Structure 1
Amino acid sequence: MNERELNTLIEEFSPNRMDELLTLIERYSPGHREEVAGWTSLFIDDLEEAFGRPLPSFYREFAGAMGKKGGRLLSDVKNYNTYSDVREYYAPPYNGESLPPRRFLYILGDTTEPDPVNYYLDLEAPSEDGDAQVVRIPYGKDAWKTVSGASFISFREMLYLWAMDKFLLSTFPHQANYSQDRSAPLLTPDAFAQTLEKLGFSRLPYPQHSMLFERADAALELYRPPDGQILFTLRVGFRSLKGLKQLQSIIEDNTSMERFTWPGQKREE
């Protein structure tokens, strides 16, 4: 048995982390599994051969679960199809002069025009088991050299945060965002998590770097960038304005966090 055959056997009998994510999404959005489709190991092996180095195990799981069709979870990105997009990206004639080196594995295409900033795994920055940090790289020769830091600690964590945004937080009519004031004493994520648990929020088992919380009437996303330049930001959503204002009072009376709004987002007063 060669190494590829062994890896294929391990994949078939190992717990699938993408299945855990799809189970979570299905809880928020029943029927989502019918929207996604993946490739078999044979097609994923073809990509690995074209890429020229082993693919991270979590990327292989992603490709096998939704590398063909990502449903609503991936509706805001493009050109992520493992075989028709990613493999073709690396298949001859590979234009090495204008593409990032094989340190970076292209995973998703940005839809921003005219200057898209695509998603890559930095294989020299492994994070969790069989995963790597996600970086954004624009088109252009040597553009990868301008990347200042990773956007997510791992591909898996990024997908979980996107799932919370798209399938749960977006359903709440009352929302707010907070970030740390770097000039003031900083509250640690673990200390804030303890406060949330006292308020009846339950923390999801994954992710571990960033954090996700649920309550019957609310949800909260605590995002921590890999580089640690900003300790964390919050996105909160509530069914009722009263519930949101109660949490806002706790945050604003007991922490140095400041509210902010994304472009186009309505601010709750």
Structure 2
Amino acid sequence: MKPFVEFVEKYRPGFSEKITPADWVDISMLEEDAGPLPGAYRRFLETMGASMGDLEIADAHFSIHSTLGVYRTMSWLQDSRYIFLAGDNGLASWHWFLDRSSPHGTDDCLVVNRLLDENYPPEGSHPMYVGLEEFLYYEAFKELRLPQLPFRRKFSSPDDAAAAARYRADAVTALAEEKGFKRLPPVEHCALYERGDAALLLYRHPTQPTFSFILGCEDSAEMERLAQDFETRTGLKSVITR
């Protein structure tokens, strides 16, 4: 998780001094309740599990103390398929979970949105990211980098999977590289691109062909040029976003 901390530091200096790792006793207690934890989640807890400082992503709270409270009051969650990851700060109550039945890489797994209800069915889950690491990088870039760019456009494929299949996310990545953007590791399914005067954030659904991307620029004229190029290449129309 050290590379992620260094990544955030580029956009929010001093971040590493504000985060607080979870106590090993709390991690052990969580593992007693939730069952074995994926390595990616354990590294997150050992780095910033008690507090993420002043970084808030995905409108959610990730503190291990809140998570332990959920397991203490909702015993039906113990040793289940889903590991409670973060609580929703909004009104929708779509909380974040790790789905251990869908592993990703060597020690990560699918991130989904679910309602915190004992009888909520697995098919009601909304897959969101292929893994926790990708979730963290994507949401941090969205929260920290894009707001630095005053001119932004969003492009989205149709929500319907059959219609979305006519459009290709690789057209976005190919044009981004042609335009001088550099892809930032380690995100592989979604994509983060940086160019200094501009940035691009590509979201790809983990199980469907749908995708969207946000393009941000410092200069309005360059924004218009890039938007036209991406509209022509992808076949998608952009909308101004804030």
Q: Indicate whether 1:179 and 2:179 are aligned.
A: no
**1:120 is matched with which residue?**
97
Highest CA radius of gyration, 1 or 2?
1
> Equivalent of 2:109, from 112, 129, 132?
132
**1:102 is matched with which residue?**
80
- SS in structure 2 opposite 1:177? strand
**Does the aligned pair in 1 maintain the 2:184–2:192 contact within 8 Å?**
yes
Normalised to the residue count of structure 2, the TM-score between the two structures is 0.90
**Does the aligned pair in 2 maintain the 1:100–1:144 contact within 8 Å?**
no
- SS in structure 2 opposite 1:105? strand
| Aligned-pair CA distance for 1:256 | 1.3
> Equivalent of 2:17, from 34, 39, 45?
34
**Does the aligned pair in 2 maintain the 1:210–1:222 contact within 8 Å?**
yes
- SS in structure 2 opposite 1:47? helix
Change (3 A) 1:101 1:142: farther
Change (3 A) 1:237 1:190: same
> Equivalent of 2:52, from 44, 60, 70?
70
> Equivalent of 2:43, from 61, 65, 68?
61
Normalised to the residue count of structure 1, the TM-score between the two structures is 0.81
Structure 1 CA distance for aligned equivalents of residues 205 and 106 of structure 2: 18
**1:235 is matched with which residue?**
214
Change (3 A) 1:73 1:180: same
User: Which structure 1 segments of 5+ residues have no match?
Assistant: 1-17
Report which stretch shifted further, 30-39 or 188-197. 188-197
**1:252 is matched with which residue?**
231
**1:199 is matched with which residue?**
179
Structure 1 CA distance for aligned equivalents of residues 93 and 185 of structure 2: 33
Identity, in percent, stands at: 28
- SS in structure 2 opposite 1:158? helix
- SS in structure 2 opposite 1:37? coil
Structure 2 CA distance for aligned equivalents of residues 189 and 183 of structure 1: 13
Change (3 A) 1:184 1:26: closer
**1:167 is matched with which residue?**
144
Alpha carbon RMSD of aligned pairs, Å? 2.1
Change (3 A) 1:139 1:148: closer
| Aligned-pair CA distance for 1:185 | 7.3
Q: Give the AA of the match of 2:129.
A: F
**Does the aligned pair in 1 maintain the 2:114–2:126 contact within 8 Å?**
no
**Does the aligned pair in 2 maintain the 1:104–1:122 contact within 8 Å?**
yes
Change (3 A) 1:205 1:184: closer
Change (3 A) 1:136 1:148: closer
Q: Runs ≥4 in structure 1, deviation > 4 angstroms?
A: 181-185
**Does the aligned pair in 1 maintain the 2:155–2:237 contact within 8 Å?**
yes
Structure 2 CA distance for aligned equivalents of residues 38 and 241 of structure 1: 41
- SS in structure 2 opposite 1:142? coil
**Does the aligned pair in 2 maintain the 1:185–1:256 contact within 8 Å?**
no
Q: How many pairs does the alignment contain?
A: 238
- SS in structure 2 opposite 1:228? coil
- 1:71-126 CA distances to partner (integer Å, 9 max, x unpaired)? 23336312x222x22223223x6442xx587100001000122x411100001011
Structure 2 CA distance for aligned equivalents of residues 149 and 126 of structure 1: 16
**2:66 is matched with which residue?**
85
Q: Give the AA of the match of 2:174.
A: Q
**Does the aligned pair in 2 maintain the 1:135–1:147 contact within 8 Å?**
no
